[in-house]
C-alpha cells in the first residue's frame, strides 16, 4: 500500500483519489479552497442552484466505468439525454435543433440549411468516426509517451494516421466535407470545447462532434455539480481523507524520490506518491523543479478562458431550449480577439445560454441562465508588456486584465444588449446577476489566466506537448484538464483512470 497525496479536488483529483483508494492505497486529498469540485463549481442563492462551470456532459460510459471500479452506480445520481442537444441560431436567423440521432440530425440539417447539408454531415461523420476509432485506445485511453504515441497510432491499422490527417486543421477538414458556411461554423465551434481556435486546431478534433453524435449529450438532474459531489462521496466511502483549505506549496523529494508535500501552514504530509490535479504549469513551475517540463509547456498555446454571467430570471422564455448557441456574423473575429496579440474581450461573441428546465435548480416561475462567451485569459496589467503589440514576444496570445475597473460590469451590460439584439431581451426580467471573469476563475481554481482547458490544441503537436500523466519526477503523476488527454469532464475522468492504471493496485 502506498501513501498517496492528491493535490487538488477538481473532478480529476477526486476521481483519481476514489480509484486509488479502491485499489487499496491510503489517499489524502489536499484542496486549497474551501470546497471540492474546482471548475465544476456551484453558486446557490435565493432558491437558484447554478452550475458555474460545465453544463453539458458527454461520454457517459467513462463515468459508469469510474463508479463500477469504485463500488457501483450511486443511487441518487442520474443522467438524462438531451433532445435537442442544443438549439443553434445563426446571424441570418437560421435555426437548428441538433440531435444525437444521426438520421434525425441529418433530416433537421436538410430542413434548416437546405438539401444536401445532411449528406455532407453524414460523410463528415463517417470520417470523424474513423478518427475516433483510430485515436481512442492508443491516445485518449493510454498514457502519453511522446513520439511513441504517434508510433502506436501509425502501426495499429494502416490508414489510421491518414484518417487523423496530421498537419490538417479542423477548419480545413470542414471545408473538405461541408459546403454550407453555416455548417462549417457549426463544426468550428467544437474546437472551442478544447479551448482552441479551429483554424489551428488539428483535424483530429472531429472526434469531438462525433462523440456527441454517437454517445449523446446529457444532463444531471440537480445540476452537473451533482456528479462532482457523487465522486467526492465515493472517495469518502472508500476511505479517502479530504482536507479543505489546505494549499500545497511544495512537493518534497530527496534522492530522486517523492517523500511528501509541504503545506501553506508550514506543516508537511508524508507521501510515497503524489498525484497533482493542480494546473500543470503550477506543478512544474512552483511545486517541483522541472525546467524541461516548464520549457515544453511554454511551447503550447494556453487554452481560451470564458466570461460567465449567472442570471436569475423572472418568468419563462418561449423558444428557449436547455442549451442555446447564438452565432455572430463574423466567427473568425472571435478567435482573433481571444488568441490575438493584443487580445481583447470579444466585441460580437457567440452567446451560449444554458437554462435547464429542472425544478431542482430554480424557483417556480423562474429560469436560471448560465451565459458563457469565449474570452482571452487574464493577466494583471493585460497586454501592457511594453512591446506595444501586446504579445509576449514569443508568438503566444495576449491577455486582458479582467480586474480593470468597470470592465466586467460594462462587458456584462454589453452582453445583455447582444442577447436582446439576437432575440433574447432578458434585461428587464433579471432579478440579479453574478459575473465570473477569467480573473475570478484563476483565483477560484488556480488555473493560470483562467484557462478553461490548460493548454489549447492549437498546432499539430499540441496534443503531444500536453504534460504526460507520469511526470519525469519519480513518484509524481499528473491528473486533470491541463495534462493528458485534456480538458472536459470525460477526459479528466479518463486521466484519473490512466493514472490509477499507472500506479496499479496496492501490494
Ligand atoms: C465556464 C466553464 C465551462 C465548462 N463547460 C464544460 C462543459 O460543458 N462540459 C465539460 O465536459 N467540461 C466543461 N468545462 C471544463 C471542465 O470543467 C474541466 O475540464 C474540469 O472540471 C477540470 O477538472 P480538473 O480535474 O482539471 O480540476 P480543476 O477543476 O481545474 O480543479 C483543480 C483543483 O486544484 C486545486 N488546487 C490548485 N492548486 C492547488 C494547490 N497548490 N494545493 C491544493 N489544491 C490546489 C484548485 O483549487 C482546484 O479545486 C468547463 C469549464 C468552465 C470553467
8 CB less than 6 Å from ligand 1? yes
Query: What spacing in Å lies between the alpha carbon of 447 and ligand 1's midpoint?
Result: 8
pLDDT in tens, 315-358: 999 999 999 999 999 999 999 999 998 999 999 999 999 999 99
pLDDT in tens, 265-320: 999 999 999 999 999 989 998 888 887 887 777 777 888 999 999 999 999 999 99
Above 90 in pLDDT, residue 227? yes
Query: What spacing in Å lies between the alpha carbon of 441 and ligand 1's midpoint?
Result: 9
C-alpha R_g of the chain: 22
Cα(85)–Cα(109) distance, rounded to whole angstroms? 14
User: What b/e string do you get for 258-280 counting C-beta neighbours within 10 Å, with b at 16 or more?
Assistant: bbbbbbeeeeebebbbbbbbbbb
390 CB less than 6 Å from ligand 1? no
Above 90 in pLDDT, residue 147? no
Which atom of ligand 1 is the closest one to the Cα of 13?
25
Of 467, 103, 24, 105, give the one whose Cα is nearest residue 288.
467
Q: What are phi and psi of 27, to 5 degrees?
A: -120, 130
40 CB less than 6 Å from ligand 1? yes
32 CB less than 6 Å from ligand 1? yes
Query: What spacing in Å lies between the alpha carbon of 9 and ligand 1's midpoint?
Result: 9
Query: What spacing in Å lies between the alpha carbon of 444 and ligand 1's midpoint?
Result: 10
Cα(171)–Cα(70) distance, rounded to whole angstroms? 40
499 CB less than 6 Å from ligand 1? no
User: What b/e string do you get for 136-174 counting C-beta neighbours within 10 Å, with b at 16 or more?
Assistant: eebbbebbbeeeebbeebbeeeeebbebbbeeebbbebb
Above 50 in pLDDT, residue 387? no
**Percent of the chain with pLDDT strictly greater than 90:** 80
For ligand 1, atom 32, the nearest C-alpha belongs to 10
For ligand 1, atom 2, the nearest C-alpha belongs to 53
Above 70 in pLDDT, residue 127? yes
Looking only at the bridges linking them, the beta strands covering 323-326 and 351-354 are antiparallel
Above 50 in pLDDT, residue 439? yes
Supply the pLDDT for residue 145.
64
Cα(149)–Cα(164) distance, rounded to whole angstroms? 13
Supply the pLDDT for residue 454.
82
Burial of 409 (0-12, 13-18, 19+ CB in 10 A): exposed
445 CB less than 6 Å from ligand 1? yes
Supply the pLDDT for residue 155.
58
Supply the pLDDT for residue 393.
42
248 CB less than 6 Å from ligand 1? yes
Cα(106)–Cα(83) distance, rounded to whole angstroms? 14
372 CB less than 6 Å from ligand 1? yes
What pLDDT band is residue 25 in, cutting at 50, 70 and 90?
A: very high
Q: Is the separation of the CB atoms in 489 and 40 below 8 Å?
A: yes
H or E stretch at 444: helix 438-445
Higher pLDDT, 156 or 405: 405
Supply the pLDDT for residue 382.
84
Name the DSSP letter for residue 378: B
Of 426, 459, 418, 446, give the one whose Cα is nearest residue 196.
459
What pLDDT band is residue 257 in, cutting at 50, 70 and 90?
A: confident
Which of 21-35, 131-145, 246-260 has the highest mean predicted lDDT (pLDDT)? 21-35
31 CB less than 6 Å from ligand 1? yes
Query: What spacing in Å lies between the alpha carbon of 10 and ligand 1's midpoint?
Result: 5
Question: What number is the average pLDDT over the span 479-504?
Answer: 96
Copy the grid coordinates of residue 140.
485518449
Cα(64)–Cα(111) distance, rounded to whole angstroms? 36
What pLDDT band is residue 90 in, cutting at 50, 70 and 90?
A: very high
Above 70 in pLDDT, residue 21? yes
Cα(137)–Cα(130) distance, rounded to whole angstroms? 12
Above 80 in pLDDT, residue 154? no
By three-state DSSP, how is residue 217 classified?
A: coil
Q: Please report the DSSP string for 221-288 in residue order.
A: TT-THHHHHHHHHHHHHTT-EEETT--EEEEEEETTEEEEEEETTS-EEE-SEEEE-S-HHHIIIIIS
What pLDDT band is residue 86 in, cutting at 50, 70 and 90?
A: very high
Q: Please report the DSSP string for 285-324 in residue order.
A: IIIS--HHHHHHHHTSPBPPEEEEEEEEEES--TT--SEE
Higher pLDDT, 459 or 3: 3
Q: What are phi and psi of 364, to 5 degrees?
A: -55, 140
Query: What spacing in Å lies between the alpha carbon of 79 and ligand 1's midpoint?
Result: 20
487 CB less than 6 Å from ligand 1? yes
H or E stretch at 415: helix 407-421
Question: What number is the average pLDDT over the span 451-466?
Answer: 80
Copy the grid coordinates of residue 58.
458527454
Above 70 in pLDDT, residue 405? yes
Supply the pLDDT for residue 391.
41
Looking only at the bridges linking them, the beta strands covering 26-30 and 241-243 are parallel
Q: Is the separation of the CB atoms in 68 and 61 below 8 Å?
A: no
Higher pLDDT, 465 or 70: 70
Which atom of ligand 1 is the closest one to the Cα of 52?
1
Query: What spacing in Å lies between the alpha carbon of 192 and ligand 1's midpoint?
Result: 16
Question: What number is the average pLDDT over the span 1-11?
Answer: 96
What pLDDT band is residue 132 in, cutting at 50, 70 and 90?
A: very high
What pLDDT band is residue 165 in, cutting at 50, 70 and 90?
A: confident
Query: What spacing in Å lies between the alpha carbon of 39 and ligand 1's midpoint?
Result: 3
Query: What spacing in Å lies between the alpha carbon of 481 and ligand 1's midpoint?
Result: 7
Query: What spacing in Å lies between the alpha carbon of 342 and ligand 1's midpoint?
Result: 26
10 CB less than 6 Å from ligand 1? yes
**Percent of the chain with pLDDT strictly greater than 70:** 95
Which atom of ligand 1 is the closest one to the Cα of 39?
29
Above 70 in pLDDT, residue 107? yes
Of 382, 381, 308, give the one whose Cα is nearest residue 343.
382
Amino acid at each position: 500500500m502506498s501513501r498517496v497525496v492528491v493535490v487538488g479536488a477538481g473532478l480529476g483529483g477526486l476521481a483519481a483519489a476514489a480509484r486509488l483508494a479502491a485499489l487499496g492505497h491510503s489517499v489524502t486529498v489536499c484542496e486549497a479552497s474551501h470546497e471540492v469540485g474546482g471548475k465544476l463549481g456551484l453558486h446557490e442563492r435565493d432558491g437558484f442552484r447554478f452550475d458555474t462551470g460545465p453544463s453539458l456532459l458527454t461520454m457517459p460510459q467513462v463515468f459508469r466505468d469510474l463508479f463500477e471500479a469504485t463500488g457501483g452506480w450511486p443511487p441518487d445520481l442520474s443522467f438524462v439525454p438531451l433532445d435537442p442537444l442544443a438549439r443553434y441560431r445563426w446571424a441570418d436567423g437560421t435555426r437548428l435543433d441538433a440531435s444525437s440521432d444521426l438520421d434525425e440530425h441529418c433530416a433537421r440539417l436538410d430542413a434548416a440549411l437546405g438539401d444536401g447539408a445532411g449528406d455532407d454531415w453524414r460523410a463528415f461523420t463517417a470520417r470523424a468516426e474513423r478518427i475516433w476509432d483510430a485515436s481512442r485506445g492508443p491516445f485518449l485511453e493510454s498514457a502519453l509517451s511522446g513520439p511513441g504515441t504517434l508510433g502506436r497510432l501509425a502501426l495499429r491499422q494502416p490508414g489510421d494516421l491518414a484518417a487523423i490527417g496530421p498537419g490538417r486543421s479542423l477548419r480545413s477538414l470542414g471545408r473538405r466535407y461541408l459546403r454550407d458556411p453555416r455548417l462549417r461554423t457549426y463544426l468550428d465551434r467544437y474546437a472551442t470545447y478544447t479551448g482552441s481556435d479551429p483554424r489551428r486546431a488539428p483535424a483530429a478534433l472531429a472526434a469531438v462532434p462525433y462523440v456527441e453524435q454517437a454517445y449523446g449529450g446529457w444532463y444531471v438532474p440537480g445540476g452537473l455539480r451533482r456528479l462532482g459531489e457523487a465522486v467526492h462521496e465515493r472517495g469518502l466511502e472508500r476511505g479517502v481523507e479530504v482536507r479543505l483549505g489546505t494549499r500545497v506549496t511544495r512537493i518534497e523529494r530527496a534522492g530522486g524520490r517523492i517523500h511528501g508535500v509541504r503545506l501553506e501552514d508550514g506543516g508537511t504530509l508524508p507521501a510515497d506518491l503524489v498525484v497533482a490535479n493542480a494546473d500543470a504549469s503550477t506543478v512544474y513551475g512552483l511545486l517541483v523543479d522541472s525546467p524541461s517540463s516548464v520549457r515544453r509547456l511554454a511551447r503550447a498555446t494556453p487554452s481560451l478562458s470564458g466570461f460567465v454571467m449567472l442570471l436569475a430570471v423572472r418568468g419563462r422564455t418561449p423558444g428557449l431550449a436547455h442549451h442555446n448557441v447564438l452565432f455572430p456574423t463574423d466567427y473568425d473575429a472571435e478567435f482573433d480577439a481571444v488568441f490575438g496579440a493584443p487580445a481583447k474581450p470579444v466585441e460580437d461573441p457567440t452567446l451560449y445560454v444554458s437554462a435547464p428546465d429542472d425544478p431542482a435548480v430554480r424557483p417556480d416561475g423562474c429560469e436560471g441562465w448560465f451565459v458563457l462567451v469565449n474570452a482571452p485569459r487574464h493577466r494583471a496589467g493585460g497586454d501592457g508588456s511594453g512591446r506595444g503589440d501586446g504579445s509576449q514576444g514569443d508568438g503566444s496570445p495576449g491577455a486582458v486584465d479582467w480586474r480593470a475597473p468597470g470592465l466586467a460590469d460594462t462587458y456584462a451590460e454589453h452582453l445583455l444588449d447582444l442577447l436582446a439584439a439576437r432575440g433574447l431581451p432578458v434585461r428587464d426580467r433579471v432579478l440579479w446577476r453574478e459575473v465570473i471573469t477569467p480573473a475570478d476563475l484563476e483565483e477560484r481554481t488556480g488555473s493560470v489566466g483562467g484557462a478553461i482547458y490548460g493548454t489549447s490544441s492549437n498546432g499539430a503537436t499540441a496534443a503531444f506537448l500536453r504534460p504526460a500523466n507520469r511526470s519525469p519526477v519519480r513518484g509524481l503523476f499528473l491528473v486533470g484538464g491541463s495534462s493528458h488527454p485534456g480538458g472536459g469532464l470525460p477526459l479528466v475522468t479518463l486521466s484519473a483512470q490512466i493514472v490509477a492504471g499507472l500506479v496499479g493496485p496496492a501490494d
